[in-house]
Amino acid sequence: MRNIKYAFWCLLALLSLLWLAAEPAAFQSANFFALRGAMVQYSGVLAMTAMSVAMILALRPRGPERWLGGLDKMYRLHKWLGIAALILSVIHWLWSRGPKWAVGWGWLARPTRGARPPLENPIEQAFANLRGSAEWLGEWAFYAAVLLIALALIRHVPYRFFYQTHRLLAAAYLVLAFHAVVLTDFDYWAAPLGVVMALLLASGTYAATIVLLRRVGAGRQVAGRIASLRHYPGVRVVEVEIDVPEGWPGHKPGQFAFATSDVREGAHPYTIASAWHDDHRRITFIAKELGDHTSRLREKLSVGQNVKVEGPYGCFDFVDSQPRQIWIGAGIGITPFIARMKYLAQGRSACPDQPPPEVDLFHPTTDVDETALSKLKADAEAANIRLHIFVSGRDGRLTGDRIRAAVPEWRAASMWFCGPSDFGEALRADFAAAGLPVTERFHQELFAMRP
C-alpha cells in the first residue's frame, strides 16, 4: 500500500517538476490569459500522464508487480490514476472553456492578439493545421471518458456492462493522445518533459491497442477444462476444479488467476484455492454469489466446458521472517488460506517430522454451510493450523481484542488479511494502536473487482 502511494504522488510530482523546468515563468504571467494558457498545458500534461500510466497498468505488466506489492495493488493504483485523470481532465476543460464563457458573459475582456509570426518548422505547421480537429475530437473524447470513468466507479453497474464499456476507454484514450500530441506546446517536445511525454503517450497507445484487440494477458493464458463443480448453498459458494494439462507454470498459495468462461464477459479474477502439484495439474477456484456475474456461474458453467486461465498473479504469498502468523479470512476471503493449508499439508505429508507452523486462522462468517466448514476444519487439521471460526449470528463480531486474547504471542506475529476492505482497515488501525508495526507486518489483499 505504501509503495503505490509513493508511485502515485512521485509520478505527479515528477511531471510537475518537468513542466516547471519547461515553463519556468508560468506563475509570473503578465495577465490572466497568459496564466490560463499555462494552466491548460499543465493540467493537460498531468491528465495525460495519469491516463497513460493507467492504460499501461491495464496490461497487467509483470515488471512492477513485485515492487508495488501484487496485481491487486497495481489495480488500486490504476483506479487512483483513473480518478486523478477524471479530476485533472475536468480542471483542464474548465481552464480551456471557462474563460471563453466569462468573455461571453462580459466578465472578462477579450484579449488583444497581434499577428502571429509565420511558422518555419514544417512539423509545427502541420500540428497548427490539425489544431481545430484536435480540439473538437478531444472535447468529445473528454465527454466520453468522463462518462466511462464514472461508470467504472459506480459499483452498482452490472459486471457485463462494465466490462463491455470499460474497454471503450482505450478508444477514447487514442483520441485524447492525438489531442495531446497536436495541442501540447511545441517547445515542450525539445525539453525533457517532451521526451517523457512522448514515451508515456507511445506506451499508452500501445497498451490501448492491445486492450482493443482483446490481447491483454494473452502470453500468460492456458487452455483448461472444468473437471468438477460443487455448490455449497449455505454459504452461496461455487467450487470449480479446472484441469490445466499444459502450459500452467504452477502457482504459490495465495495467488490468483483470471478465468474466462464467456468471451462476452471477459476474464474475471479468482483466488486459487488449491496447492499446485505437477502430478495433479488441477486448479480450484471458489466463487461466492455476490453480484450479477458470480450469481450466474452455476447456470453458465458445466463439467467438460473449456475455459481460459491466465496467471498466476499476486504477492499475497505468506513469506516473512516472523516466527508466528495470524491469518484472518473473512467470508470468501478464506480462499487463499485454504490454498496455503493444502500446501502445508502436502509438505507435512512428505516430511512428517517437520515442526508444525505457528499459525492461527480466524474465519469470521455470516453464512454457514456445515459441509464447507467440515472441509475447512479438515484442511486445518491436515496442515496443523489452529482454526477459530466466528459465526456472526452466534459468536458476535471478530475484533482485535478477541484475536489478541486467543493469541497471547501476537506481538511476535505477522498478520495476513483477506476479506472486506473496511474490515481489514479497521483491524489494521486496531493493531497499530496496540503497538504492532503494521507497515511491515500487516498484509492485506486489496482486490476489489466487480463480482
Over its length of 451 residues, how does the chain's per-residue pLDDT go in tens digits?
688 999 999 999 999 999 999 998 877 766 888 888 899 999 999 999 999 999 999 999 988 888 888 888 999 999 999 999 999 999 999 999 998 898 889 888 887 776 677 777 889 888 989 999 999 999 999 999 999 998 888 877 777 788 888 889 999 999 999 999 999 999 999 999 999 999 999 999 999 999 999 999 999 999 999 999 999 888 888 999 999 989 999 999 999 999 998 887 788 888 899 999 888 899 999 988 877 677 778 888 999 999 999 999 988 989 888 999 999 999 889 999 999 999 999 887 777 777 778 999 999 999 888 999 999 999 999 999 999 999 988 899 999 999 999 999 999 999 999 999 899 999 999 999 999 999 999 999 876 655 4
Question: Phi and psi at residue 145, in whole multiples of 5°?
Answer: -65, -40
Domains of the chain: 2-212 (1.20.120), 218-313 (2.40.30.10), 324-444 (3.40.50.80)
Distance CA 404, CA 387 (A): 14
Q: What is the pLDDT of residue 368?
A: 86
- CB atoms near residue 155 (< 10 Å): 10
Q: What is the pLDDT of residue 69?
A: 86
Q: What is the pLDDT of residue 304?
A: 95
In the DSSP assignment, the letter for residue 195 is H
Q: What is the pLDDT of residue 451?
A: 47
Position 245, amino acid:
P
Taking Cα atoms as reference points, which of 320, 324, 326, 318 lies closest to residue 404? 326
Q: What is the pLDDT of residue 115?
A: 67
Distance CA 232, CA 268 (A): 21
* Spatial contact of 251 and 276, defined as CB atoms under 8 Å apart: yes
In the DSSP assignment, the letter for residue 116 is P
Q: What is the pLDDT of residue 448?
A: 63
Cell of 386: 489452529
209-215 LR contacts (CB < 8 Å, sep 24+): 209/170, 209/174, 210/59, 211/55, 211/58, 211/59, 211/167, 211/170, 212/167, 212/170, 212/171, 214/167, 214/263, 214/266
Cell of 308: 481460459
pTM (two decimals): 0.89
For 81-134, strand residue ranges (E) read none
Coil/strand/helix, residue 61: coil
Cell of 301: 458453467
Q: What is the pLDDT of residue 86?
A: 95
Q: Which residues contact 144 (CB under 8 A, 6 or more apart)?
A: 168, 172
Distance CA 426, CA 156 (A): 24
